[in-house]
A and B are shown apart, each in its own frame.
Chain A
């Protein structure tokens, strides 16, 4: 029963979603069922976020308590989770029941600091701590790519040479000075790159990948609906 019931639920929910696509959601029972099912999915999705928070706190708190390698960074992770989460879920007014209790203890002038709105603690932490850190991490990629370009991009074979030349042409085309340079050689070169490289070779290969992935996704969905694929239950 532990195996059969989830498979039955997955089958019924999947089939209902497929069939209900063909019916008007406002006029049919199946359409209403689909709407309800989608609401459930978003609610379940919300719980997975809570589960994620619980999991990250538990794993990192254990490492901190055992003083394992890098425990200090794990402590920073746990503190960061709570520093972002707690102010954002505090009430921003005394309208709700929780708000009434909260602001009977704390001054109502604190309300602007809570929630996720402009000038809240969450907003400040996001704009001045989280966002710059993420941007910095991403920006360092440019340095690694430049280093990799120098050391690894080698024209060892005809295919590699073709790839290198194409990559250099596209890189030139994607920036104003490069495009101007290409136009100075022949005014049609940038248009040719767009037409033949991006809308030609690139497009055809991308389309092949997209169709292949879609077919794979369809077959995987079918396997789940029919109960052949059970890895989502933690079984092979």
Chain B
């Protein structure tokens, strides 16, 4: 068996080992790279930044724990931006598993940094089943869908919710999602109720969103961990996404290297086989 045959049939565990090394190496030897901004990320940042201070914004936590590496930094950076402008934040989740709990943990910890008070500066509505009905229902009355917040406190006992009755009282919706719920935020809430919607999504979902950005149905877009790192740069607070860029960079390079080596090995061995025939 020649060299390229061996390369073609390499044990996959070597590949796994190389991916693991590429992932962990930047965590041990700290590496940081400058994150360039895309127009879509800047558009989203400016949309939030241009809102008047103390505006009410909705931040969604429509993602499962599995996608937290990409989406959680987006939520954190968005909250830092919103709280730094003294905005009132209403969080909601259309994901039963994890979304409301992530919202609770993330929002409370960031709110503490900015000295924000629950019920006055921010509220976590939690989750209700059937997101299409929820999105429609919030247009007429938030209280008709959410009688109480995530922890069971009636909305009538929360000062912030006395001024926030439906979408008309919300200036902007920042959707952070790892699934198709963002499609419905766009097609229902933006298209039918004319509320500006911005999006932070996983890298897998991002390509589809470019169509909505171009159609001005989505005001700005953060795609994957790179998008989160861009927003961290915009709010000038480096976080886990910026740190994660080093690992992601090395793994991307490694995968490109694998593709090239895999193809070279394939063509060399194929040529060799044809020559033997």
A226 within 8 Å of B (CB atoms): no
Chain B residues within 8 Å of A45, by CB: 128-130, 133
Contacts of A127-183 to chain B: CB distance below 8 A: 127, 130-131, 134-135, 137-139, 142-143, 145-147, 149-151, 153-155, 164, 167-168, 171-172, 174-180, 183
A154-B266, A168-B259 known; A177-B249 Cβ under 8 A: yes
A229 within 8 Å of B (CB atoms): no
A8 within 8 Å of B (CB atoms): no
Contact check, A142 vs B23: say whether CB atoms are below 8 A apart: yes
Contact check, B34 vs A176: say whether CB atoms are below 8 A apart: yes
| 0 or 1 for each of A36-52: is its CB under 8 Å from B? (1 = yes) | 00110110111011000
How far, in angstroms, from A123 to B36 measured CA to CA in the complex? 36
How far, in angstroms, from A155 to B261 measured CA to CA in the complex? 12
User: Nearest chain-B residue to A204 (Cβ)?
Assistant: B211
Contacts of A193-225 to chain B: CB distance below 8 A: 194, 198-199, 202-203, 206-207, 209-210
Chain A residues within 8 Å of B101, by CB: 116, 122-123, 126-127
Stretch at the interface among B45-53, B61-69, B78-86: B61-69
Chain A, interface SS category = helix
How far, in angstroms, from A209 to B134 measured CA to CA in the complex? 26
A186 within 8 Å of B (CB atoms): no
A42-B134, A115-B151, A177-B249 known; A155-B145 Cβ under 8 A: no
User: Nearest chain-B residue to A92 (Cβ)?
Assistant: B152
Q: How many residues of A contact B (CB 8 A)?
A: 65
Contact of B152 among A35, A115, A153 (CB under 8 A): A115
Taking each of B69, B128, B211, which has the highest tally of chain A beta carbons within 10 Å of its own beta carbon?
B211
B253 within 8 Å of A (CB atoms): yes
Taking each of A49, A177, A206, A207, which has the highest tally of chain B beta carbons within 10 Å of its own beta carbon?
A177
Contact of B98 among A21, A131, A137 (CB under 8 A): A131
A123-B101, A176-B34, A176-B249 known; A154-B263 Cβ under 8 A: yes
Contact check, B208 vs A172: say whether CB atoms are below 8 A apart: no
Contact check, B144 vs A39: say whether CB atoms are below 8 A apart: yes
